[in-house]
Amino acid sequence: MNYFMNPDTPEQIGLNDFLTKLPVETEYGRKRKEILVPVGEEGRLILEQSYQEIGKIMEEHDRHPGLIKELRKLIHGQKNIRKSLENSMDEQTLSDVELFEIKKQAFAMERVIGYLDRHKAVRFSSITLHPVKWLIELLDPEATGIETFYVYDEYDPKLKKLRSRKAKVKEQVLAEEKQKEKQVIEKLDVKPLWNKEVHIPKDQPEKQEKLQQMGMYLLANETKSHWIYRPIKHELEETLSGLFGEEEVLEQKIRERLSHCIGEKGEELLQNTEALGYLDILLGKVTVAIKYQCCEPEIIDKPMLRITEGRHPGLEEKLKKEGLRYMPVDIEASKGVTLITGANMGGKTMSLKMTALMVSLAQLGFWVPAKEFSFQPMEYIYFSTGDQQSHELGLSTFGAEVYGLKKVLKVAGKKGMILLDELASGTNPKEGYGISKAIVRHLSQESAISIVTTHYDGIGDLPEIRHLQVVGLRDGHLDEIKDELENVDDPSGVFEKFMDYRLKPKDRNDPVPRDAIRVAELMGLPENILENARGYLAENDREKEE
């Protein structure tokens, strides 16, 4: 079973959006980020370790401001060299470019190790970094500390000798060429070209004769007007090209040796790359924890969930841009059903999304955007938005909802989280009410933590159900709201300003709020329609009482 029963859920609850804001500095981190999976209860220790490590880095960061930035800078831009390491372990010979990358990463690794050694508080056992001094010595034989790579003379005295011979021969070749050139100029009064060719005009055949007598040039080509002569390759040049070949053989042997040395300790180096990726993601988690003012999740042994002053970071950022303040919400839920009712535009859906986001973030080892957060890791999250259609299956809103419910009811006996938004709102209200009530009643007896939002009255009457209600539009502001609504194009901002999104427990005897009519009135639906609406409602209520 997938953790997210609906593949759309990570997108819908804002998890994907959140993860795009998780910064990574290395290719290892990027890769790890792509394959992040929520950890269940069996991984409780891993989760708690992650929470603690985030906390310790934050503490050390408080003592040494700039620590996070510094560490991120140290690992920044590291490429994935795992393939090269694996090749070396397979006794393959690495190229200069591969050796360069390994050397570069060794230097970076050495700096990270040094930094963490100076900050023991964040030298976690989960981050195993094997020493790499030997590797630096291997790839920087001249101990220059420069992060480039070359098959250095120091690798082999033979190479050194060979190269200096090569240089000498080259010098000789050059000297001879110069000599030749000089002779040509002196005897023929023709200057050889930049590419050492001698072009002799055909109207000066005596020059051709002279050149041939010199015995150093061969006719290579001719044009209508010129004979083109090239210098004859002489012995020294043959020697030189032989030296080039020898050099190449020797260099390749050195590469083989270096690759072998690296391959022998390949396993350790691979572990180092793992550690680098882990550290990268961890630093990213700390960064977002600070950015979104997150708290450390607490894992509890009871099937319940408690969010104090929770925030949805996506919505919070959006509101911030519009100059509005986010109103944190408290939610408490446990095994069975928690029902949320309340005003239209009262943020019920957002509360569900926030809950799902927090639980999944916590199971990915993140801190969460709340003041306090305690939970039990779930085996799955089921989130139904109530307005989704299934084009794939060709189902309507209601059809898609039922299809999903059928799936989730099968696993409702397991520890999971079931979030149903506007249950059965896509069909006629009477039947919808019946179905909703029956499902809620069923879920109230199951092990899963279910949170259900609904508009239907009377579902909260069921026993063993916790009922939360959106506080709603704040009284005493109605005229203000009306005024503002008349003066804006987009009414949503106005409601955001005057809506109290908090949830409060609803007592069974509290009256059901009639916010829909109020909202309709505020938004300016004609008075006669509103009056009739109130009339019909009263009629309906009377019928019910009778």
Residues numbered 292 to 321 that lie near another protein (CB under 8 A) are: none
163 part of the interface to another protein, by CB under 8 A: yes
**133, exposed or middle or buried, with CB in 10 Å at 0-12, 13-18, 19+?**
exposed
Residue placing its CB nearer to another protein in the complex, 243 or 420? 243
Q: Which residues is 497 bridged to in the sheet?
A: none
Q: Does 171 bind another protein (CB under 8 A)?
A: no
The minimum distance between CB 171 and another protein, in angstroms, equals 12
Residue 191 CB, shortest distance to another protein, in Å, is: 6
Residue 363 has what DSSP assignment? H
- Alpha-carbon distances, residue 370 vs 90, 230, 316, 330, 366 (angstroms): 49, 82, 12, 9, 12
Contact between 225 and another protein per CB under 8 A: yes
With contacts defined by CB under 8 A, name the span among 55-63, 143-151, 209-217, 386-394 that binds another protein: 143-151
CA distance 329 to 313: 13
Give how many residues touch another protein by CB under 8 A: 28
Binding mask 230-249 for another protein (x = CB under 8 A): --------------x--xx-
Q: Which stretch binds another protein (CB under 8 A): 48-56, 218-226, 476-484, 503-511?
A: 218-226
Query: Binding to another protein by residue 470, rule CB under 8 A?
Result: no
Minimum Å gap between C-beta 100 and another protein is 4
Q: Restricting to residues 88-127, which ones interact with another protein according to CB under 8 A?
A: 95-97, 99-101
Which of 199, 210, 253, 441 is in the footprint of another protein by CB under 8 A? Answer: 199
Structure tokens at 18: 């959140």
Identify the residue among 69, 73, 76, 79 touching another protein (CB under 8 A). Answer: 79
Does an H or E element contain 57, and which?
helix 44-63
Contact between 128 and 277 under an 8 Å Cβ cutoff? The reply is no
Q: Which is nearer to another protein, 79 or 407 (CB)?
A: 79
Q: Does 150 engage in binding with another protein (CB under 8 A)?
A: yes
Residue selected from 69, 133, 160, 191 as contacting another protein according to rule CB under 8 A: 191
3-state SS assignment for residue 172: helix
CA 318 to the chain's CA centroid: 21
- Considering only 59-67, 188-196, 212-220, 265-273, which stretch makes contact with another protein by CB under 8 A? 188-196
User: How near is the Cβ of 204 to another protein at its closest, in Å?
Assistant: 14
Of 186-194, 271-279, 294-302, 392-400, the segment contacting another protein by CB under 8 A is: 186-194
Q: Strand pairing partners for 227?
A: 200, 222
Q: Please state, as a whole number, how many other Cβ atoms lie within 10 Å of the Cβ of residue 538.
A: 10
Contacts of 384 (CB under 8 A, 6+ apart): 6, 401, 404, 405, 408, 419, 420, 421, 423
Is residue 262 a contact point for another protein (CB under 8 A)? no
Q: How crowded is residue 150: how many other Cβ atoms within 10 Å of its Cβ?
A: 12
Q: Which helix (H) or strand (E) holds 374?
A: strand 372-375
The answer to whether the CB of 103 falls within 8 A of the CB of 136 is yes
Positions in the binding site for another protein (CB under 8 A): 79, 95-97, 99-101, 148-151, 163, 166-167, 170, 191, 193-195, 199, 223-226, 244, 247-248, 251
